[in-house]
Amino acid sequence: MDENMNNNMSEAENTVVSEPEEKTETKKSVGREIFEWIYSIVLAVIIAMCIKWLFFDVVRVDGLSMYPTLNDNDRLIVTKLGYEPKQGDIIILDSTYNKREAYYDRLAEEKGKDELSGFEKLIKSLSLPKDLKKVYYVKRVIATEGQTVDLIDGNVYVDGEQLDEPYYSGETYSIDPTVEYPVTVDEGCIFVMGDNRGHSLDSRSSQLGEVKTEAVLGHSQLRIFPFNAIGRTK
């Protein structure tokens, strides 16, 4: 009898109560499904960011500097990859690029460096003064590097020839006495204007000046809003 009791006790001590196999598999299935959802969301975000950074973007027009070609609140698709600005193109540019780069140069000089690294610029960008944060403008390319821009009797001349501007029927004049004409566009830069010449802060002003090609976000290709005005931008 004692031997039977000992055997029973031994069996009880060695018995491990486990969850039903079906319940365990259900938990694994739910965990796997949650992981797959998180993985899919993260992957989709990364892909979307890569597409936005490399290929194209959707931007909103703010203001009337490109009127009547573009209107306030228009939505545009802008292409990026491999784009090189050409005369007549409508582009999106970073209007504070020059000031921000000058700021980075001053910081580098204070550290005894020729320039800040890309990582250092990224860190500094998180605490930039308000007037150095990115502000995008939409403008038209009037001339590219090496070309000469002149304003004569209300008309725009590029390399001595009057510019054909079917998108604008008014006259074009200087808006900043510190900018003298003719102007030869520097290497790696473009000269831009808004189509609404009387209400556009552009390369005619020293506040913006010539735009470095690195400051160009991309080329406006298509207006997708408002729906009654969908079409190519040109």
DSSP notation for 197-218: GGG--STTSTTT-SEEGGGEEE
Quick check: 94 and 136 in contact, CB under 8 A? Answer: yes
Q: Which of 65, 200, 203, 220 is catalytic?
A: 65
Predicted confidence at residue 3, as pLDDT, reads: 47
Predicted confidence at residue 13, as pLDDT, reads: 46
Q: Which of 29, 111, 117, 139 is catalytic?
A: 139
pTM reported for the whole predicted model: 0.76
User: In 3D, which of 175, 180, 182, 212 has the Cα closest to residue 91?
Assistant: 212
- The Cα-based distances of 4 to 7, 12, 13, 14, 45 in angstroms read 5, 12, 14, 15, 65
- Whether 65 sits among the annotated catalytic residues: the reply is yes
User: End-to-end CA distance of the chain, in Å?
Assistant: 101
* Cα–Cα distance for residue pair 179/101, rounded to 1 Å: 21
* Cα–Cα distance for residue pair 200/162, rounded to 1 Å: 20
Length of the chain: 234
Per-residue pLDDT tens listing for the chain (234 residues): 444 444 444 444 444 444 455 555 665 677 777 877 786 787 676 666 555 555 678 899 999 999 999 999 999 999 988 899 999 999 999 999 999 999 999 999 998 998 999 889 889 888 899 999 999 999 999 999 999 999 999 999 999 999 999 999 899 999 999 999 999 999 999 999 999 999 999 999 999 999 999 999 999 999 999 999 999 998
